[in-house]
Amino acid sequence: MKKKHLRIVVEVLFIILVILWMTNIIDKRINLLLYEPDEAAWIYSGYYFNLYFLKFDLFHKDWTDYDAYDHPPLVKYIVGGTLFLKGHVFDSLEAKKMWHSIPMNKYASNYGLLIGKIPNNVLPFIRFVIFIFAFLSVLLFYIFVRSFYGMLPAIVSTSLLMTNLIFIEFSTQILADPVLLFFFAFFVLLCALYLKSGNNIFIFFCFVLSSFAFLTKLNGLILIFVLFFVILVKNRVRISNYNFKILFFGFITFLLMTILLNPFFINSGIHGIVKIVEHRVSHIHFQQETFKSGALLSMGERFQAEIGTIFFKFSLFNKIIGFPFELILFLLGIYYSVRKRDIILLIILVFFILPTISILPLNWERYYYTVIPFIYIIAGVSLNIFKELKKGDKKYKFY
């Protein structure tokens, strides 16, 4: 009983520490001046909140404009809604078109133009709203690891994530990535609950989260593929085991939400997906041409850049002890996942980590944001190897 009470005290103290640490992060960064040009772009894109929710003009010409398919609209709605609560509304794409007129490598010299279109005193409020998604992501990751792998792995995974400099910086910027991470984290938790219980209600909500993720960023579409893989694994590819009603209802919900909340598809039809993909591919090539020094053109370059950035350059433990502690834990975690045939950890590795290595276009810190938390999940879970070695599990004897 005393041991149980001690565990409760430790966990409560850790949760309090997490809250205090995250509060400290936002307090230090929320009032900074505009320091990322993309923040300005997302604020200007708040125009689409006005067009959808205030005017409800689903067939306006601006739904076929470049800015309508440059990114999905959910974060545009969140930012625009936050602006609206502060008494500001963008009623045209004028500000966003001005942003597009500035070459990528000229943002610093045009700082005055970027900040001049942003209403006064809205930066802190919008940053706080986006930060809430990052904070909830940390909470969901903790709940997931705690529920399925134990308290110590949860504490280690969460601690690694909270102290990662990339996570700290981009959790307090007005970007789509913290919102996408929230949907990813929630989705993984629900998938794990489905695999454990078989309750189809989790499948339905996974369809909903897949739609929200796709409405946040194009790579959010990966969740629908992960979901069907999870269903196949759970039912062992036996058709007789499938609940076709929930699958049909869930997929129809996914389609309706995706189309109705993104009028670009209402105006362009299903081939609009092709247009979005082609645009993102051409945009990536343009970025690689503009910033050649940071371009990653081969798998080897991407793999090397990811290891160097995550486990060395931005690793707190590596900076302190001069040893890639997190990389060792991650590799042990992969070993644990394979040896235990842990489906959910292997899904995380195959769908949420490895694709980043293969498609990473530039060695920019922001592109690592949604992969780092999943790396730390596997790193934290690796501690269970030592727990099972202590119990004498022969599968974990290294010979």
How far apart, in whole angstroms, are the C-alpha atoms of residue 367 and residue 324? 21
Token pair, residue 25, equals: 């992060």
Domain residue ranges of the chain, discontinuous segments joined by +: 2-30+121-396
pLDDT tens per residue across span 14-48: 888 888 888 888 888 888 888 888 999 999 999 99
Structural contact between residues 286 and 105, judged by C-beta atoms closer than 8 angstroms: no
**387, pLDDT greater than 90:** no
Helix (H/G/I), strand (E/B), else coil: 295 = strand
**330, pLDDT greater than 50:** yes
pLDDT tens per residue across span 2-15: 677 778 888 889 88
When pLDDT is cut at 50, 70 and 90, the band that residue 291 belongs to is confident
Which DSSP letter does residue 362 get? B
Across the range 369-378, mean pLDDT stands at: 96
Amino acid in position 27: D
Q: How many other CB atoms are found less than 10 A from the CB of residue 321? A: 10
Residue 242, burial from CB neighbour count under 10 angstroms (0-12, 13-18, 19+):
middle
pLDDT at 238: 65
How far apart, in whole angstroms, are the C-alpha atoms of residue 337 and residue 331? 10
Across the range 300-309, mean pLDDT stands at: 88
Q: What are phi and psi of 261, to 5 degrees?
A: -90, -5
Across the range 338-346, mean pLDDT stands at: 94
Across the range 232-250, mean pLDDT stands at: 78
- Residues of the chain with pLDDT > 70, as a percent, come to 95
**395, pLDDT greater than 60:** no
**396, pLDDT greater than 60:** no
6 vs 242 pLDDT, higher one: 6
**348, pLDDT greater than 60:** yes
**397, pLDDT greater than 50:** no
How far apart, in whole angstroms, are the C-alpha atoms of residue 350 and residue 343? 10
How does the average pLDDT of the chain come out, rounded?
Answer: 89
Helix (H/G/I), strand (E/B), else coil: 119 = coil
Structural contact between residues 186 and 139, judged by C-beta atoms closer than 8 angstroms: no
Q: Tokens 């910027």 appear where? A: 173
pLDDT at 240: 60
**332, pLDDT greater than 90:** yes
Residues 6 or more apart whose CB falls under 8 angstroms from that of 386 comprise none
Residue 362 β-bridge partners: 295
pLDDT at 276: 84
pLDDT at 389: 67
Across the range 246-262, mean pLDDT stands at: 94
pLDDT at 399: 32
Across the range 176-204, mean pLDDT stands at: 96
Structural contact between residues 332 and 385, judged by C-beta atoms closer than 8 angstroms: yes
